[in-house]
């Protein structure tokens, strides 16, 4: 057996069947794909799951276009002076009634109260505001023309990241965005989950 195959075999030994099953259950892929992802990530579960998400292999991505007609309205109030209310949707009333879903909605309400986003996602930003920001970057652009659209698109997204709920760093784990946090919940529940609307209120502050 070659050195490369020996090394591969050793890596496989380090990946437990429990870890493979856990990744399979969370991602919705087959055992072989789950094992290969873990081997490539040298047994690092989080890295394996993240790489699978990037490749669009997890069921979170596959369920992203399903309709979400059920859900709950959840709120969070801090010290009677600051609060947020959010409508979190899912596919079935069964999932909407679970403690896990309610906890998810509560944490998102806390995120909104703490970080004060203005929009749910990039697509929620009014077109005229996006166009104005895009024009601003176009006037300053000095890079390669063949990369112009791609670069400016990235600059626009970054410029609004603090104002967009889905692009914000998640307050309980700043290694991931709110969108990534919700995708993890999608993978666990097996249902699509979306934020439909939210409102933040602060005592003495009006829009």
Can you give the residue ranges of every domain in the chain? Answer: 3-57, 70-121+163-202, 126-160
pLDDT in tens, 77-120: 999 999 999 999 998 899 999 999 999 999 999 999 999 999 99
Grouping H, G, I as helix, E, B as strand and the rest as coil, residue 153 is: helix
- Whole-number pLDDT of residue 79: 94
- Whole-number pLDDT of residue 7: 46
- Whole-number pLDDT of residue 59: 60
Mean pLDDT computed over 18-41: 79
Report whether pLDDT(136) > 70. Answer: yes
Residues 145 and 167 sit within 8 Å (Cβ to Cβ): no
- Could you tell me the CA-to-CA distances from 200 to 86, 117, 179, 196 in Å, in that order? 9, 9, 19, 14
Q: Is the pTM of this model over 0.75?
A: no
CA–CA dist 105, 182 (Å, integer)? 10
CATH number of 70-121+163-202: 3.30.479.20
Structure tokens at 63: 């369920």
Q: What is the second-level CATH architecture of the domain 3-57?
A: Orthogonal Bundle (1.10)
- Exposure string for 131-167, b = 16+ CB within 10 A, e = fewer: eebbeebeeeeeeeeeeeeeebeebbeeebeebbbbb
pLDDT in tens, 169-200: 999 999 999 999 999 998 888 888 999 999 99
- Whole-number pLDDT of residue 132: 92
Report whether pLDDT(6) > 50. Answer: no
Torsion of CA 45, 50, 56, 62, to 10 degrees: 70
């Amino acid at each position: 057996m070659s050195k490369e195959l020996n090394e591969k075999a050793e890596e496989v030994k380090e990946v437990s069947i429990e870890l493979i099953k856990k990744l399979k259950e969370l991602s919705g892929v087959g055992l072989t794909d789950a094992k290969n992802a873990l081997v490539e990530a040298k047994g690092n579960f989080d890295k394996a799951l993240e790489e699978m998400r990037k490749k669009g292999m997890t069921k979170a991505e596959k369920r992203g276009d399903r309709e979400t007609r059920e859900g709950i309205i959840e709120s969070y109030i801090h010290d009677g002076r600051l609060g947020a209310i959010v409508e979190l949707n899912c596919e079935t009333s069964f999932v909407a009634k679970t403690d896990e879903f309610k906890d998810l909605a509560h944490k998102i309400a806390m995120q909104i109260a703490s970080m004060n986003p203005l929009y749910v996602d990039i697509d929620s930003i009014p077109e005229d505001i996006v166009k104005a920001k895009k024009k601003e970057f176009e006037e300053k652009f000095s890079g390669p023309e063949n990369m112009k659209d791609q670069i400016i698109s990235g600059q626009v997204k970054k410029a609004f990241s603090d104002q967009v709920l889905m692009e914000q760093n998640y307050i309980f784990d700043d290694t991931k965005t709110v969108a990534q946090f919700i995708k993890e919940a999608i993978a666990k529940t097996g249902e699509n989950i979306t934020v439909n609307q939210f409102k933040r209120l602060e005592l003495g502050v009006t829009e």
